[in-house]
Amino acid sequence: MKEISKKVMKLNDRSIGKTDWALLLVMSVFVFVTMFYGDLKIIYHHSLTFLDTIFDLDMPNFYANTLANPCFGFGAVYYWMVYAVIAVWNLPVWILTRFFHVGEYAVPCLLWSKLQMVFFLLLTLWMMEKILKDFGFGKEKYRFAQFMFASSLFVVLPTVAIAQIDMITVFLMLWGIREYLNADQITWKFLLIFSFAAAMKIFALFVFIPLVLLKEKRILYVLVDMIAGVICIALCLLPYAGREDYVQSTSILNDVMVSRMFSTVFVGGNTEIPAFLAILVALSIYAYATKVENKDEYFYHTMWITLAVFAAFFIFVYAHPYWIVLLAPYIAIFLVMRSDKMKLNMILEFFISSCASVYYCISFQVYMTRETFADLILKKLPMKSGEGSANLGEFIAKHHLEQYVSSLFMIFAVCLIAFLVINRSQKGKESLKWRETVDGALHFDHGMIYLRLFGIVMFIAGCIYLAYFSK
């Protein structure tokens, strides 16, 4: 028994190995080649329209062209730079569809369009390694952080399963943060990278503001930096300013986003206070008031502030489920930054990712629906039709479990706040406590790794059940 116990203990204490990566790869490949979501069709379709517009020398009418040739009734809802980035990747598809009459929605074409987000996922893993290496973390620790990021449901579902474009913003932000951390002053490279990231998704601006204030205390320079941070957005807006086709095409996203920023409020004395914006202002003041003395402190404060901003956003703003990927790299990095709190942080991370993911699967017809397998390599398999539950939300309603759904979000929010508090920035020697564990051995419960891989298995099984066996 002692020998068995020793073997179990050794297995449980081992580092992330080839077997773990292999299991993750097998599941990720299955998810990648079988699952699809209609939103990608819209972005993909309009990236081809963007190429048509470019080669027709008709860029001023890009948004008008997308309205004339909509997908699922939608024109282009993002800034034109988004479609430019997607279009570069989809140029081979454009050639095949325009000159060789290949179907736009042929399986190989759709898989190629999905592959772009996997490419940015790999770039993000590479950038995480670069950042952690810059601050002295060894191979065991940055590989652990990479695995925790790549195996997170916050990454597998939005990026590998449905290939939403938010991973582009994640990569650009990490790239910008690396430039930020490796320079003594705010640089134009950092400003331009974050400006480009904001043009991809506006979320990057929420982090950009407090980071500028953390490093730059001169008011005039702060103003110049803020202007520089929206240069790319301005370049996207100016060519179409005042045009009805642009307003009509993009208002479905822009108007909704603005309203959501003000929808969750704190009750004030004379008026209601937008919760997320209030916290963002508070974090910006905190950043400006914080005096950082060295590169290590910048690293700690940068990661904590970024995580705090996005935590506030997802707790207080009605968010689409795939946006949650924005949290993932910073949680993964904190797991190795504070390896002195490894066990507790891993437990909190498990509840953060699993509860939020299940909540989003129930609340949004995105991840776990009967249509999951309708577009890629399994599309010819006969699926259930008109019977049973078409998505996880209907399944929950059928079994009268709706009253418990909000509890999932509550657990997610409480655990995320706890994660922030436990890993909070502190002054003096305490603020650099993470440095004590940089070079030390990494000790963690490998059972937590098996548990997160099991979560991916359960997601796949749920999708298969709803598509083929739901009654």
pTM of the model: 0.94
pLDDT of residue 4: 54
Structure-derived torsion over alpha carbons of residues 343, 26, 112, 109, reported in degrees to the nearest 10? -130
pLDDT of residue 270: 87
396-425 pLDDT tens trace: 888 888 888 999 999 999 999 999 999 986
* Domain spans in the chain, listed from the N-terminal domain onward: 2-468
Four-residue CA torsion sign, 273, 277, 280, 285: negative
Residue 457 CB-density burial (10 A; 0-12 exposed, 13-18 middle, 19+ buried): exposed
pLDDT of residue 307: 97
Q: Which of 240, 232, 236 is nearest to 60 (CA)?
A: 240
Q: How far apart are CA 5 and CA 7, in angstroms?
A: 5
| Count of residues in the chain | 471
Give me the residues of the chain with pLDDT under 50, please: 8, 428
436-464 pLDDT tens trace: 667 666 778 888 899 999 999 999 999 99
pLDDT of residue 55: 96
CA atoms within 13 A on the CB side of 296: 15
pLDDT of residue 395: 86
Looking at the DSSP bridge assignments, the partners of residue 74 are 71
pLDDT of residue 293: 82
